[in-house]
């Protein structure tokens, strides 16, 4: 089997061990902020809208609901604390794409992909305006992103892309003038379609704004079930927690990777664990050695890809590559510590930036991604239109959650809009099969993707068959 650049140019074990020796296992982003403590729900309440989940999906829904209906009573219930899960652990890439990339969108929604691209850019513009309007202190930077080629076959794919004033192809010399790594062969600089944020601060700031608008947020309040009468679409929905109940006219579910409160969605997603390292702050000399003056987000073109970016204090976040599924679709804290993956990421980091030898990692962490078979979020309504949901972001949800919040509110308002009329919104993804078939299929697919990365990107019969039936899986 051919080797990738990360195997051909592996750093010494000594460099890796030194770099990891002081890393604490906690998400840097959450470590970097302070939030107010919020009460749990201990007494029954009634609401016009109850939102389940205190991540981006729930928080955007809360803010936008109060914008639409300022007098509505909106209650948000979070099982732990605001932004503690995916919304406080991700890389902070705010991507315009609503379909996990244009290629994925084109293969699944060919008749509306051009409009979906436009809607994605409009959605990103709306987020940028919200940052300004609400003075969200979340380190928002719209610097664009570099899609990197680190193997020869990836260069051809980038060179074939359509370019314009906002999308620029960079050859080897040009990309290394942007960011200096011996692994870079070419890049595509997409200047409009990507931004960066401090993810935990974004969640905390959305919670601040929601409360200022009158939203009631209850933390440490896990929702166990929802129930509703089937007799009338105007009958209330009961949201059951450990200590109290919420009686609501409408309910929005933003539960992400956790088991859905709706039976119909139980096999629609699986949790896939993603792993991340964060360095200590770079010195001025270290930063000069790699360039990166334009502070773009970075990602390479492999199936098992890496993503990385600079933080507000010039740390480097470096994550991706391994995407780990555990039998039974379980979400457990013990899965977050995977030493072999952290070592592999550290090796790949120093292959990418050998000039940073001696730099240490301050934090290591992981989180579960809600993966669905079409790679991008799906949406819907249940209980005669009284309950709406969005899930399945597959790791590209920072911006898509804002779009999803508008979709859920459209559905709950009973409005027929351009958003609710989209095939992407109306059509559900194929479900995952139950165990043990799910685990066997996912692991076989991961093996096939790794094999493709080692064979010039060539997809084997398994991947081609999955492509044909609209199934997929990547990191």
Q: Which helix (DSSP H) or strand (DSSP E) does residue 245 occupy?
A: strand 245-253
The dihedral formed by the CA atoms of 320, 323, 329 and 332, expressed in degrees to the nearest 10: -50
Site of tokens 């601060």: 201
Cis peptide before 418 (omega within 30 of 0): no
C-alpha span between 119 and 403 (Å, rounded): 9
Note the pLDDT of residue 233. Answer: 80
Q: Is the dihedral of CA 347, 350, 356, 357 positive or negative?
A: positive
C-alpha span between 24 and 363 (Å, rounded): 5
Within 13 Å of residue 290, how many CA atoms lie on the same side as its CB? 27
C-alpha span between 328 and 312 (Å, rounded): 38
Nearest to 397 by CA among 144, 97, 134, 52: 97
Note the pLDDT of residue 475. Answer: 44
Three-class SS of residue 226?
strand
Nearest to 386 by CA among 180, 256, 234: 234
Residues 6+ apart with CB under 8 A from 358: 15, 18
Q: Which helix (DSSP H) or strand (DSSP E) does residue 347 occupy?
A: helix 339-352
Site of tokens 């896939």: 272
Q: Are 149 and 158 in contact (CB under 8 A)?
A: yes
C-alpha span between 103 and 97 (Å, rounded): 10
DSSP 8-state symbol, 422: S
Tokens of 310: 């600079």
Q: Are 430 and 270 in contact (CB under 8 A)?
A: no
Three-class SS of residue 432?
coil
Which phi and psi angles does 362 have, rounded to 5°?
Answer: -95, -30
Three-class SS of residue 211?
helix
The pTM (predicted TM-score) of the whole model is: 0.95
Q: Which residues lie across from 247 on neighbouring strands?
A: 46, 238
Q: Which residues lie across from 273 on neighbouring strands?
A: 324, 368
Per-residue pLDDT of the chain (475 residues; tens, 9 = 90+): 689 999 999 999 999 999 999 999 999 999 999 999 999 999 999 999 999 999 999 999 999 999 999 999 999 999 999 999 999 999 999 999 999 999 899 999 999 999 999 999 999 999 999 999 999 999 999 999 999 999 999 999 999 988 899 999 999 999 999 999 999 999 999 999 999 999 999 999 999 999 999 999 999 999 999 998 776 788 999 999 999 999 999 999 999 999 999 999 999 999 999 999 999 999 999 999 999 999 999 999 888 999 999 999 999 999 999 999 999 999 999 999 999 999 999 999 999 999 999 999 999 999 999 999 999 999 999 999 999 999 999 999 999 999 999 999 999 999 999 999 999 999 999 999 999 998 998 898 888 888 888 888 888 887 777 777 666 554 4
Three-class SS of residue 460?
coil
Check residue 83 and give left, alpha or beta (phi > 0: left; psi -120 to 50: alpha): left
Nearest to 290 by CA among 361, 357, 348: 357
C-alpha span between 169 and 186 (Å, rounded): 8
């Amino acid at each position: 089997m051919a080797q990738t650049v990360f195997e051909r140019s592996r750093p010494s074990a000594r460099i890796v061990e030194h770099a990891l020796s002081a890393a604490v296992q906690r998400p840097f982003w959450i470590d970097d902020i302070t939030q107010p403590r919020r009460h749990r729900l201990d007494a029954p309440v009634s609401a016009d809208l109850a939102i389940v989940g205190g991540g981006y999906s729930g928080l955007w829904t809360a803010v936008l609901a109060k914008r639409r209906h300022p007098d509505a009573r909106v209650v948000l219930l979070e099982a732990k604390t605001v932004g503690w899960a995916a919304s406080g652990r991700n890389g902070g890439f705010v991507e315009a794409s609503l379909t996990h990339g244009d290629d994925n969108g084109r293969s699944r929604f060919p008749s509306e992909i051009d409009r979906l691209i436009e809607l994605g850019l409009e959605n990103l513009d709306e987020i940028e305006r919200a940052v300004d309007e609400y003075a969200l202190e979340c380190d928002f930077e719209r610097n664009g992103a570099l899609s990197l080629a680190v193997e020869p076959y990836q260069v051809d794919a980038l060179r074939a892309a359509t370019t314009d004033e906002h999308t620029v192809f960079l050859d080897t010399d040009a990309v290394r003038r942007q960011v200096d790594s011996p692994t870079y062969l070419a890049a595509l600089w997409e200047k409009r379609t990507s931004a960066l944020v401090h993810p935990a601060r974004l969640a905390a700031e959305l919670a601040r704004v929601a409360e200022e608008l009158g939203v009631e947020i209850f933390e440490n309040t896990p929702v166990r079930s929802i129930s509703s009468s089937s007799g009338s679409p105007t009958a209330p929905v009961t949201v059951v927690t450990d200590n109290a109940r919420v009686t609501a006219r409408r309910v929005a579910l933003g539960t992400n990777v956790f088991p859905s409160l709706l039976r119909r969605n139980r096999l629609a997603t699986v949790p896939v664990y993603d792993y991340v390292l964060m360095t200590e702050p770079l010195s001025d000399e270290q930063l000069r050695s790699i360039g990166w003056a334009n502070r773009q987000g970075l990602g390479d073109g492999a199936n098992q890809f890496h993503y990385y970016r600079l933080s507000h204090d010039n740390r480097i976040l470096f994550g991706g590559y391994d995407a780990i599924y555990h039998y039974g679709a379980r979400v457990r804290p013990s899965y977050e510590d995977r030493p072999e993956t952290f070592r592999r990421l550290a090796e790949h980091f120093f292959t990418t930036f050998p000039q940073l030898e001696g730099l240490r990692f301050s934090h290591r962490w992981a989180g579960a991604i809600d993966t669905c078979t079409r790679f991008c979020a799906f949406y819907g309504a249940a209980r005669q239109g009284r309950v709406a949901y969005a899930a399945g972001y597959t790791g590209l949800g920072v911006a898509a959650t804002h779009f999803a919040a508008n979709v859920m509110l459209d559905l709950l308002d009973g409005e027929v809009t351009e958003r609710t009329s989209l095939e992407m919104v109306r059509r559900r993804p194929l479900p995952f099969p139950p165990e043990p078939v799910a685990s066997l299929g996912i692991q076989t697919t991961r093996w096939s993707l790794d094999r493709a990365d080692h064979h010039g990107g060539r997809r084997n019969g398994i991947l081609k068959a999955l492509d044909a039936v609209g199934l997929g899986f990547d990191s």
